[in-house]
Amino acid sequence: MAAYLVVDTDLTNPEVYEEYKIKARPIAEKYGGEYLARGGKMVLKETQLWSPKRLVLVRFPTFEQAEKFYDSEEYQAVLPISLNSARRSVVILEGL
């Protein structure tokens, strides 16, 4: 069963964040990740619980692969770039 990595990002330093994007994508792809959306046009219809800023959606073949990606040494080495250039919420969601 597929899994989706959902990331809501509020960029605080867009220039630095570009470096993160370049480095994170090949790592996600190594673990079977496929980017489905990355900061595209968004219309908020209901926001009682959450008001996202910039969404990224990555599909992985399995929940385990998504977790392996996030927990991998390669990704953990790149993650500080994002954490120093954005505020984020990250969810791994089991899906179809």
Q: Is residue 64 part of a domain?
A: no
Number of domains in the chain: 1
Identify the segments of the chain with pLDDT beneath 70. none
The closest alpha carbon to 70, from 36, 40, 14, 30, belongs to 30
pLDDT at 62 (0 to 100): 98
CATH code of residue 11:
3.30.70.100
**The predicted structure's pLDDT at residue 69:** 98
What's this model's pTM, rounded to 2 decimal places?
0.93
Residue 15 sits in which domain range?
A: 1-40+69-96
For residue 6, what pLDDT is reported? 98
The predicted pLDDT at position 70 comes to: 98
pLDDT at residue number 25: 97
